[in-house]
A = this chain, B = another copy of it.
Amino acid sequence: MPKDNVNSFRELDPLLHSQLRLAVMSLLISLEEADFVYLREKTGSTAGNLSVQLDKLSQAKYIEVDKGYSGKKPRTVCRITDTGRKAFEEYLEALKTYIG
């Protein structure tokens, strides 16, 4: 019996398939650099949530996070890595198997 009922959907990287992390990556992919406050405002997220999600992206090496100062104020700057860029592109490819 020919089995053509085969899964035709690609895995969606769970690290990217998350509203907030996807938004962050979406921003970083075109900006190449953005700080914590900017990301918080552009995504509309709470600081706590953003902090957690940045950690996850950072641990996966999808982004780099530099903690420094702007004058006397702490300033956390994020940028996407090559790994992150590649993962994002693969996510987009995978998405297409769902949304045509």
- CB of A70 within 8 A of chain B? no
With known contacts A12-B19, A17-B17, A19-B17, A5–B38 Cβ distance under 8 A: yes
Q: B23–A98 contact, CB under 8 A?
A: yes
Q: Which residue of chain B has the shortest Cβ distance to A94 in the bound complex?
A: B19
Q: A22–B98 contact, CB under 8 A?
A: yes
Q: A9–B38 contact, CB under 8 A?
A: no
- CB of A77 within 8 A of chain B? no
- CB of A44 within 8 A of chain B? yes
Give the complex CA separation of A17 and B11 in angstroms: 13
- CB of A42 within 8 A of chain B? yes
The one of B9, B19, B95, B99 that contacts A43, using a Cβ cutoff of 8 Å: B9
Mark out the residues of chain A between 54 and 100 whose CB falls within 8 Å of any chain B CB in the assembled complex.
92, 95, 98-100
